[in-house]
Amino acid sequence: MNKLKIPLLALSISVVTGCGGGDSDGGGNGGNYGNNPASESHTRAVLKAIVAGHDNFTVYTEHDFPRESSNHWMNAGLTERNDEYKCQGFCSLDQNPVETEGVIWRHDVSEDNLVPVYYAVIGDDAKEEIDPRVTEGLKGIEAAIDRKVFEDKGFIRFSDADVTNFSTIDYSDAIGRGKGGLIISVGTAHQVSKNGEIMCGSVTSAPYIAGSPNMIVDTNGVLQSDKGWVWLNLGNDNCGFDTNIVKHELAHYFMQHDGHFDGFGENGDTFSESTEAVLHTIYNNAIGAPVESMSYTWDAK
């Protein structure tokens, strides 16, 4: 009855951009689970769609990482701002072309290469606290992938001025802890209204904006989780979120998929078992495995 309708995002909105519906009280969609059960045929169809989507990606090869600061105002002070892995769009790690043909891009997520997670604290008076919906969302992704995925790197503080200009955000609070990772930020979602629905979750390059995140990828299609900063924005003053929206946005990040499918932002489900099956299959096959020869791993879980 109170299912949220999650609009299908136009593909033009770009890779991994925000979506995930939310209503004004942030409750609602909850555990609406089971309408879209996992199946091998559905999972394989989604994997094919993900790979096909990679063909639209442009990978820039001009930067040598870590980057030197340049005279351009946007790229001045990269070291001081702890942003030496800054790229715009997708960037090749070593300036070589990146494999896209039939191979799903993914994070490594091995024991010694987990995804670093930082919790944003914006404003001098802001408290350091982790929202329980976020904690549950992270657990949900680890349950789907079936191993430890995240490395908790603690809080990252920004002054209000630090985040005023999305091109020159200051990440220096994390100097000594890392050069990139996933920043989880509550209250900074750019609100998009589409077909009467308000969206308040997104994966972007900065808080308060729409658009795609920036990511560095190696020649095998491995996304460099710890190089460069990605923002996961959840909710804002007008628009709430729930644990399923946290999982939904994280799933965009882990699948590198801009689209939705049955059980993932379509047919009333924000995040269902069909999404878990896709995540499990991607992350329990070898890196670089051609999508046609990947094993469907969810049944055996």
Q: Does 28 bind Zn ion (CB under 5 A)?
A: no
> For residues 157 and 257, which CB has a smaller minimum distance to Zn ion in the complex?
257
User: Taking contact as CB under 5 A, which single stretch among the options 12-20, 38-46, 94-102, 289-297 is the one that binds Zn ion?
Assistant: 12-20
Q: In a 3-state reduction of DSSP, which class is residue 61?
A: coil
> For residues 19 and 98, which CB has a smaller minimum distance to Zn ion in the complex?
19
Shortest distance in whole angstroms from residue 18 CB to Zn ion: 7
Amino acid identity of 113? N
Q: Does 265 bind Zn ion (CB under 5 A)?
A: yes
Shortest distance in whole angstroms from residue 267 CB to Zn ion: 13
Nearest to 165 by CA among 81, 287, 44: 81
Report the alpha-carbon distance of residue 276 to residue 37 in Å, rounded: 10
> For residues 104 and 250, which CB has a smaller minimum distance to Zn ion in the complex?
250
User: Taking contact as CB under 5 A, which single stretch among the options 96-104, 114-122, 263-271, 287-295 is the one that binds Zn ion?
Assistant: 263-271
Q: Does 211 bind Zn ion (CB under 5 A)?
A: no
Q: Write the CB contacts of 7 (distance below 8 Å, at least 6 apart in sequence).
A: 19, 21, 194, 195, 197, 199
Q: Does 19 bind Zn ion (CB under 5 A)?
A: yes
Shortest distance in whole angstroms from residue 10 CB to Zn ion: 12
Query: Residue 135 is encoded by which pair of tokens?
Result: 């904690």
Site size toward Zn ion (CB under 5 A) is 2
User: Taking contact as CB under 5 A, which single stretch among the options 64-72, 116-124, 160-168, 260-268 is the one that binds Zn ion?
Assistant: 260-268
User: Which single residue brings its beta carbon nearest to Zn ion?
Assistant: 19
> For residues 22 and 265, which CB has a smaller minimum distance to Zn ion in the complex?
265
> For residues 218 and 249, which CB has a smaller minimum distance to Zn ion in the complex?
249
Q: Are 270 and 234 in contact (CB under 8 A)?
A: no
Shortest distance in whole angstroms from residue 266 CB to Zn ion: 9
Q: Does 192 bind Zn ion (CB under 5 A)?
A: no
Shortest distance in whole angstroms from residue 78 CB to Zn ion: 31
Nearest to 64 by CA among 87, 39, 46, 40: 87
Q: What is the DSSP string of 168-213?
A: S---GGGTTT-EEEEEEEET-PPPEEETTEEE-EEEESSTT--SPP
User: Taking contact as CB under 5 A, which single stretch among the options 13-21, 71-79, 114-122, 153-161 is the one that binds Zn ion?
Assistant: 13-21
Report the alpha-carbon distance of residue 52 to residue 98 in Å, rounded: 15
Q: In a 3-state reduction of DSSP, which class is residue 39?
A: coil
Q: Are 133 and 242 in contact (CB under 8 A)?
A: yes
H or E element in which residue 227 lies: strand 227-234
> For residues 172 and 267, which CB has a smaller minimum distance to Zn ion in the complex?
267
Interacting residues with Zn ion (CB under 5 A):
19, 265
